Amino acid sequence: MNDMDYFDPDSSGAPIDVLFLTAPDLAFDVPLHSHRRGQLVMPVTGSMTCEVEDEIWMVPSESAMWIPTGLPHRNTPAASATFCFVFIETSRAAMPEKSCTLAVSPLIREMILHLARISPAEAGQEQTCQLVNLLFSMMAQMPAERLNFPLSKDARLRQVASMLLADPADRRPAREWAAFLALSERTFTRLVVKETGLTFGLWRRQLHIVVSLQRLLAGGSVQSVSEQLGYESVSAFITMFKKALGKSPKRYIGQA
């Protein structure tokens, strides 16, 4: 299926519905919204940025974003991206209770793409039902990743996040951000941990992961992205990236 205009994911009674879409299909500004069913956002080519509650998630083409039932979200594809929206009756699949990115195996990807291509008549066939049951079983075992930048309901941290998103190369230490907000460094660092679950250094690193993935998947070189994020050397950027994602930027993007 590939027409979002004529499909209401909340009215379907099917255990799963898969839509194959392209970036122009979401060219308009979609406001925050939610669905009765859980949604898996799976880029096929390119990448997707998802805003879910108080977090920004980066979803490259070897991953998928899981959005639980009733959770407000907004999906923004990269230019020329293609992707699948997968709507799931959560009573049929043991999916995570919280939003997260999930690693997608080649087999799961091909199963989802097959379901996107079948006709309504084929959807009710026994072999399709067997495929769906197998897919649900495999999806429950997809490993979770951490490709998010947590935001905060606190207005002060929202301001810091907005400034870092506008200029991710800003390398000011915690004490300078604390002074900027007229807080002590100790109060500021405790506030970051309380609101995001991360230290300030790890919080900013998560921003760098999200931004670097966006720019690398858009065709930027490792050196240019390293410079744009304010790293003193390419090797320092590669070390950060590998520590966070377990692979070098070149290998990660090559596989994506």
Does residue 169 have a pLDDT over 60?
Answer: yes
- Which tokens in the block code for residue 201? 């250094």
Distances (CA, A) of 162 to 97, 147, 176: 28, 18, 16
Q: What percent of the chain has pLDDT over 70?
A: 96
**pLDDT (average), residues 193-201:** 94
Q: Burial, 227: exposed, middle or buried (Cβ in 10 Å; 0-12, 13-18, 19+)?
A: middle
In the three-class reduction of DSSP (H, G, I as helix; E, B as strand; rest coil), residue 239 is classed as helix
Query: Residue range 165-175: average pLDDT?
Result: 94
Chain centroid to CA 207: how far? 12
Q: Is the Cβ–Cβ distance between 67 and 52 less than 8 Å? A: yes
Residue range 71-85: mean pLDDT, rounded: 90
pLDDT band at 23 (very low <50, low <70, confident <90, very high): confident
pLDDT on residue 249: 93
Q: With 0-12 CB in 10 A as exposed, 13-18 as middle and 19+ as buried, what is 182? A: exposed
pLDDT value of residue 170: 95
The answer to whether the CB of 38 falls within 8 A of the CB of 71 is: no
State the DSSP H helix or E strand holding residue 159, giving kind and residue range, or none if neither.
helix 155-166
108 CB-contact burial (10 Å; exposed 0-12 / middle 13-18 / buried 19+): buried
Helix (H/G/I), strand (E/B), else coil: 167: coil
pLDDT of 30 strictly over 80: no
CA 52 to chain centre: 9
Assess contact for 148 and 116: CB atoms under 8 A.
no
CB 179 within 8 A of CB 189: no
Span 108-138, pLDDT tens digits: 999 999 999 998 888 889 999 999 999 999 9
For 82, the 3-state DSSP assignment is strand
- Position 137 scores a pLDDT of 94
Q: Check residue 172 and give its pLDDT.
A: 95
In this prediction, residue 179 carries a pLDDT of: 97
User: Quick count: other Cβ atoms within 10 Å of Cβ 7?
Assistant: 14
Average pLDDT, the chain: 90
Angle formed by the axes of helices 155-166 and 200-217, to 10°?
Answer: 40
Residues 6+ apart with CB under 8 A from 238: 222, 226, 248, 249
Structure tokens given for 140: 């429950």
Give percent of the chain with pLDDT exceeding 90. Answer: 64
Radius of gyration, CA atoms only, the chain? 20
Tell me the domains of the chain and their CATH numbers.
4-145 (2.60.120.280), 151-255 (1.10.10.60)
Task: Report the predicted TM-score, pTM, of the whole model to 2 decimal places.
Answer: 0.78
Q: What is the pLDDT of residue 47?
A: 84
Closest CA to 234 of 246, 221, 243: 221
* pLDDT for 133: 95
The stretch 174-186 carries a mean pLDDT of 97
* pLDDT for the residue numbered 29: 62
pLDDT band with cut points at 50, 70 and 90 for residue 28: low
Burial 135-156 (b: 16+ CB within 10 A, else e): bbeebeebeebebbbbbbebeb
More confident residue, 196 or 254: 196
Question: Do you know the residue count of the chain?
Answer: 256
* Residue-level pLDDT at 18: 95
